[in-house]
A and B are shown apart, each in its own frame.
Chain A
Amino acid sequence: MSTRLVVDPVTRIEGHLRIEAQMDGNRIQSAYSSGTMVRGIETIVRGRDPRDAWAFVQRICGVCTLVHGLAGVRAVEDALDYPIPPNAELIRNLMVAAQYVHDHVMHFYHLHALDWVDVVSALSADPKATSELAQSISRHSKSSPGYFADVQQKLKGFVESGQLGIFANGYWGHPAYRLPPEANLMAVAHYLEALAWQREVAQLHAIFGGKNPHPNLVVGGVPCAISIDSGNQSGTAVDMVGLERVRSLIAEMHAFVEQVYLPDTVAIAGFYKDWFQMGEGVGNFMCYGDFPANGFGDRSSYLVPGGVILDRNLSDIREVDLNAEGEIQEFVSRSWYAYGGGKDAGLHPYAGETDFDYTGPEPPYQQLDVDGQYSWLKSPRWRGRPVEVGPLARVLMLYATGHERTRELADATLASLDLPLDALYSTMGRTAARALETQIMVEAMDGWFDRLLANIRGGDLRTFNETLWDPSTWPSTARGVGHLEAPRGALGHWIVIEDGRTANYQAVVPSTWNAGPRDAGGQPGPYEAALQGHDLADVDQPLEILRTVHSFDPCIACAVHLTDPDGEEVLRIRAR
């Protein structure tokens, strides 16, 4: 019998995501991904000072805090051909990498882990055996039997209070949970440790950006002047004390990733090896590239190269051109927007247009019309094809282009699990790739920090280029794209500047690539493709859906947006 399964809200994500699945018994026949919230930030940015845009678009997302702001800054810099000093590039690299480390660890423990970890089962663990398990996989210092006994005691008190709070109504005892009690207890302990750890390491953003979430940025460099000669008088946060703190924060990040996050991921994955066989998605992957060693304009100096992989073919990397009209396009045939050129057209972001055209059911509703329009997300396509972006795409790209450290890490990890490279094309492969790239990032941070210090020692304190700050120096029209490898994947912001104001603004973000609905040709987006064919042990407790959706690390506030280049809001509400 064919029935519709609805998961809304999908929790432990950023934003408002709804999954509807057409079921054939316990098997997902087809899945539909819907973003259910819209704000209209790109419309709000229009007409404003392009130098201000970053602050507005940074608020696209507070989890991906920083990255949208930086994409907005880079878009203006690209439009104006505005170079920035090497120190600013290094500080940006450090801030983006710190964002990866913070975000990926929190994703694993606080958003994704409970798909694999049964919190209640941890109550029956033997603390001594848990200690042995922990010590067998890592030299992390918090691993004594007494430590785990304490965590277990606290958890016991919490559960016995009868007030389960954030753990209420979890699918505890679900047959798809497969970790032994000791692994569950270890993961619960690290869930709590990671909460405390993330609070510390977020300080790196505060030093350079004044606060986290939502650190400050500036077009033309970074806002934090380096304050070396201020003596004992407070200059800026980026003084020798601040820089020493950055060094120790990088060390804290490094230790936690290497000793806790990566070993936990591999240990947990070992109990769920069947999840390396399902949840692939579309088999196409895209990166824009990022982390320059020699200026953002020199794409060959990027740590992560740009490119597209089609149909798993790692030996043929296609180039991606963010300015080419026929490459990146957004479609709205299944989204709640209208295009002047008709529902089936695809538009490049420079020419992007979006008018609200809600054709869904009037709330409150039970089901969406999945044969019609069903999402506030558009469907971005590269040369007409759906592509996956994010950690898996980057690890594949690094692997395919021969990045030695990636190959070493990926090969060793897969060998320890006795799995082939193809196992990466899966739900658990995506989760493992995220951990692997976090390790690569913490290692890269050391190098960028050393170069920053060397520059400062050599007397180069420049962090900002003033030459094009004044809009009167700009051409009357200009356009540019700011791209980034954000933690969740390839991110692009396109800006059109006219007479010193923002004439058009368009963001195409990672979760739109991954979570977007079908296109005019009926091709599903990566979430939808990945969920297809999943067998659910219990349709009333669709844990398997959460596993695969969470493996992408959804960020739905990011994914929904709109532009309205004609300045006319066409608003049609049709209740069905």
Chain B
Amino acid sequence: MTTERTLGGFLRHRGVSRRAFLKFCSAMASMMALPASSVTALAEALEQARRPSVIWLSFQECTGCTEALTRSNAPSIEGLIFDFISLDYHHTLQAASGAAAEAAREEAMHENDGQYLLLVDGSIPSVKAYSTIAGISNLDMLKEGAAGAAAIIAIGTCAAYGGLPKADPNPTGAMSVEEIVKDRPIVNIPGCPPLPLAITGLIAHYLAMGVMPELDRLGRPLAFYGENIHDRCYRRPFYDRGLFAETFDDEGARRGWCLYKLGCKAPETYNACAQIKWNQGTSFPIQSGHGCIGCSEPNFWDKGGIYDSVAMGQFGSGPKIAVAASLGAVAGAGAAVLARGKKHKTETELDSDD
């Protein structure tokens, strides 16, 4: 592999300065809760890589996850797809159509066999004719793509857990990726859609470290899904004081009081919306007056009405445990990974590879 073909050489060729590159690496390290000392290792790992091939398959989906990807700011969508990965198949963005598009998918799978990252959005119907691409069923295309993938990222609640198509009565027999693929590492990035940073951050992490980060029992990276939204909500003090909005534009609503009585699902939802927020930190659902609908949790569509309050007993379970596990990831304690029975390398193993 020549220097020119590596990511480091490529970035210099494209005019990305060493300083900007290191800044990106340290931002990523900080985002994924890695120690500052890992930045150099990250930079070295990244610089030696050819831009990794990424194949994105869209099944029973609404393209909201792709739209979320394009809202990513750090790394930006343009930075990601032109500087850091080679996005070799992606229906919404790729130039080629028809046979030329399918040829791109096949070439990418062939040339990067065992190496490419497979991204999937949308659920997969059990009846093949309910969703096809180029005459091929989603089921067959997923299996073919998974076979040569180094790892799979199920993006959005539909790919991760079945999502909306799987909601009762599941008219098409929709399934999640992990219900179908059993022999590849899978990371779930749920959300309807997921936080853009969770998508690009995970890709960046994988790119730099060569492994997936630590996951919770639902296959979600703890760095993004380790904390409870209610616990991190800026309105939490009002909950503690018993101050609630009773309707959408009463005095409480205008003062930013807790939305618990309007059905907010934050107490049972694990995601980073309250910290990272949406659209470059502009707002998040609760800050704009509507309760969280719990979109990063499995089967959230069937867990009761959007405006029904959640049961009090569920409050606050787990966040402290999750934080501890997240820190554990840095030390290489891969409990969550082992629990899932996936053959992930831990960060410690990566270090020893170096």
Q: Pick out which of these stretches binds chain A: B36-44, B124-132, B179-187.
A: B124-132
In the complex, chain B residues whose CB is within 8 Å of the CB of A562: 171
In the complex, chain A residues whose CB is within 8 Å of the CB of B91: 9, 11-13
Q: Are A196 and B78 in contact (CB under 8 A)?
A: yes
In the complex, chain A residues whose CB is within 8 Å of the CB of B193: 62, 213-214
B98, B234, B253: the one within 8 Å of A8 (CB): B98
B85 to chain A, nearest CB (A): 7
Give me the 10 closest cross-chain CB pairs, A-B, nearest first. A62-B64, A40-B171, A170-B95, A210-B285, A210-B288, A216-B290, A223-B290, A211-B278, A237-B283, A225-B253
B67, B245, B279: the one within 8 Å of A63 (CB): B67
In the complex, chain B residues whose CB is within 8 Å of the CB of A221: 248-249
Q: Are A363 and B64 in contact (CB under 8 A)?
A: no
A-B contact count (CB 8 A): 348
Q: Are B289 and A236 in contact (CB under 8 A)?
A: yes
Complex: chain B residue closest to A85, CB-CB: B249
Judged by a CB distance under 8 angstroms, whether B219 is at the interface is no
Task: Kindly state the separation between the CA atoms of A192 and B255 in the bound complex, as whole angstroms.
Answer: 40
Type the 1/0 row for A139-162, where 1 means its CB is closer than 8 Å to any CB of B.
000000000001001100110111
A535-559: which have CB < 8 Å to B? 540-542, 546, 557
Q: Are B285 and A211 in contact (CB under 8 A)?
A: yes
A202, A364, A461: the one within 8 Å of B140 (CB): A364
Q: Are A463 and B101 in contact (CB under 8 A)?
A: no
In the complex, chain B residues whose CB is within 8 Å of the CB of A62: 61-68, 193
Residues of B whose CB lies within 8 Å of any CB of A are 5, 10, 13-15, 50-51, 53, 58-68, 70-73, 76-78, 81-82, 85-88, 90-104, 107, 125, 127-137, 140, 164-165, 167-169, 171-172, 174, 192-193, 234, 245, 247-250, 253-256, 273, 278-280, 282-290, 293, 301, 305-307
A544 to chain B, nearest CB (A): 12
A contact residues, total (Cβ < 8 Å): 119
A423 to chain B, nearest CB (A): 26
Q: Are B130 and A38 in contact (CB under 8 A)?
A: yes
Q: Are B255 and A60 in contact (CB under 8 A)?
A: no
Task: Kindly state the separation between the CA atoms of A153 and B15 in the bound complex, as whole angstroms.
Answer: 8
Q: Are B68 and A225 in contact (CB under 8 A)?
A: no
Q: Are B279 and A168 in contact (CB under 8 A)?
A: no
Judged by a CB distance under 8 angstroms, whether A446 is at the interface is no
- Looking at A361, A363, A557, which has the most chain B CB atoms within 10 Å of its CB? A363
Name 7 interchain pairs, CB-CB below 8 A, sorted by A. A16-B131, A44-B301, A63-B67, A166-B90, A221-B248, A223-B290, A227-B255
Complex: chain B residue closest to A153, CB-CB: B15
- Looking at A39, A157, A220, A562, which has the most chain B CB atoms within 10 Å of its CB? A39
A234-289: which have CB < 8 Å to B? 234-238, 242, 245
A160-194: which have CB < 8 Å to B? 160-171, 192
Q: Are A163 and B86 in contact (CB under 8 A)?
A: yes
A39, A110, A216, A235: the one within 8 Å of B165 (CB): A39
Q: Are B81 and A166 in contact (CB under 8 A)?
A: yes
Judged by a CB distance under 8 angstroms, whether A443 is at the interface is no
